[in-house]
Amino acid sequence: MSEEMKPMRLAVSEALVAYGKKNPDIVVLDADTSNSTQTKLFGQAFPDRFFNVGISEANMVSIAAGLSLAGKIPFATSFAFLLAYRAGDQVRSQVAYGRLNVKLIGSYCGLSDHADGASHQGVTDVSVMRALPNMTVVCCTNLTEVYQVVEAAAEYPGPVYIRVSRAECRRLFNPATHPFRIGKGIELRSGEDVGIIGTGTIMEAALQAAEQLEAQSIGVTLVELHTVKPLDRELLLQCARRTKALVTCEENNVFGGLYGAVTEVLARHHPVPVIPIGIQDRFGDTGSYAELLEEYGLTAGHIVRAAYHLLERK
């Protein structure tokens, strides 16, 4: 699709502004990260609907809770790890338990805040959010989706966690042929030999891996599951029945994220071998993004090798 590259965090803030023009009820909160998360754009466009609470994430989420009950649709934004942990109890006890109409944007996800190092890299937020009852979890995979996710989340009832990368990404497909619907996965290829299921920005690498495999006449079913909860089980089972061997891809711990979600369904309904491409239960590190992705086994090459491994076993 298009070659235009843009940081995902910037695109989501542009989407907030665009939707903010359509819907006067949306408000945005940030906790002194708006120059990083780019929510400052919303603050510039709608100063009376933007609340920067300073470095107080727990406060921010509980304020968002109150705003949602006053009839607003709040988007509370911070770094992914802070929403999952620093504000974790507030997300749990009020937003999730209360099924409140609060939308959370966890920015700088995965290893995308590469130079800052482990303290800032959210490598478990997908697992944490997925384990919360009533929480919907969406990991944006590419630019097409990011421009649609704000509106989709605002119109979806209840708590939604939107995971957003610091990194640049491009549009991977055409929204006209692949509309974004929360809970609905997108099948990009339908080959027979191996399945690749991805969520988040690693989808770009998954796409490259699929192309490399196809160049060797290996048939690939390529599925994008932006919504990790609720998982599109039907699409997943279809993929498993067809290929009988899967690789899951995510920039999150292999414990509790997409790999967990996929294997939970398959172990019960259609057991097939599944190899996880993800962060192997370790914290992040400092370096360039490309170096970290290589070191943590999150590249197209790693996905391809995992596919070969599955094919050997068949």
Partner 1 sequence: MDVRELKTLANHLRKTVLEMAWVAGSGHIGGSFSCAEILAVLYERILNVDPRNPHKHDRDIFILSKGHAAPALYFILAHKGFFEKEKLLTLRKKGSILQGHPDMHKVPGVEISTGSLGMGISNGIGFCLGNRLNEINSTVYVLCGDGELNEGQCWEAFSAAVKFGLDKLVVLVDRNQVQLDGTTEEIMPMPNLAARIEAFGWQVYKCDGHSVEDLLEVLTKAKAERGAPKLILAETVKGKGVSFMEGQYIWHGKPLNEEEYRRAKKELGELTI
**Active site positions, annotated:** 57
Candidates 1, 5, 18, 69; binder of partner 1 (CB under 8 A) is: 69
Of 158, 26, 29, residue with least CA distance to 95: 158
Return the range that interacts with partner 1 (CB under 8 A); candidates 86-94, 181-189, 253-261, 303-311.
Answer: 86-94
- Considering beta carbons, is residue 59 or 286 the nearer one to partner 1? 59
- Considering beta carbons, is residue 31 or 197 the nearer one to partner 1? 31
CA distance 179 to 169: 18
- Using the CB atoms, write b or e for 187-221: b if 16+ within 10 Å: ebbebebbbbbbbbbbbbbbbebbebbeeeebbbb
Give residues 171-210 in contact with partner 1 (rule: CB under 8 A).
Answer: none
Asked whether the beta carbons of 207 and 41 are under 8 A apart, the reply is no
Candidates 1, 66, 234, 290; binder of partner 1 (CB under 8 A) is: 66
Q: Does 290 bind partner 1 (CB under 8 A)?
A: no
The nearest distance, CB 49 to partner 1, in angstroms, is 7
Asked whether the beta carbons of 226 and 185 are under 8 A apart, the reply is yes
The nearest distance, CB 111 to partner 1, in angstroms, is 29
The nearest distance, CB 56 to partner 1, in angstroms, is 4
Give the number of C-alpha atoms closer than 13 A to the C-alpha of residue 228, restricted to the C-beta side: 34
Q: Does 297 bind partner 1 (CB under 8 A)?
A: no
Using CB atoms within 10 A of its CB, is residue 177 exposed (0-12), middle (13-18) or buried (19+)?
exposed
Asked whether the beta carbons of 27 and 50 are under 8 A apart, the reply is yes
Place of tokens 């939308």: 103
Return the range that interacts with partner 1 (CB under 8 A); candidates 89-97, 139-147, 162-170, 214-222.
Answer: 89-97
In the chain, the amino acid numbered 49 is: R
- Considering beta carbons, is residue 57 or 125 the nearer one to partner 1? 57
Asked whether the beta carbons of 265 and 245 are under 8 A apart, the reply is no
- Considering beta carbons, is residue 33 or 144 the nearer one to partner 1? 33
Q: Does 19 bind partner 1 (CB under 8 A)?
A: no
Q: Does 99 bind partner 1 (CB under 8 A)?
A: yes
CA distance 10 to 20: 15
Q: Does 98 bind partner 1 (CB under 8 A)?
A: yes
Q: Does 23 bind partner 1 (CB under 8 A)?
A: no
Candidates 12, 15, 17, 27; binder of partner 1 (CB under 8 A) is: 27
Q: What is the largest CA-CA distance in the chain?
A: 60
Q: Does 56 bind partner 1 (CB under 8 A)?
A: yes
- Which residues of this protein are in contact with partner 1, per CB under 8 A? 27, 48-49, 51, 53-54, 56, 58-72, 74, 89-90, 93-94, 97-99
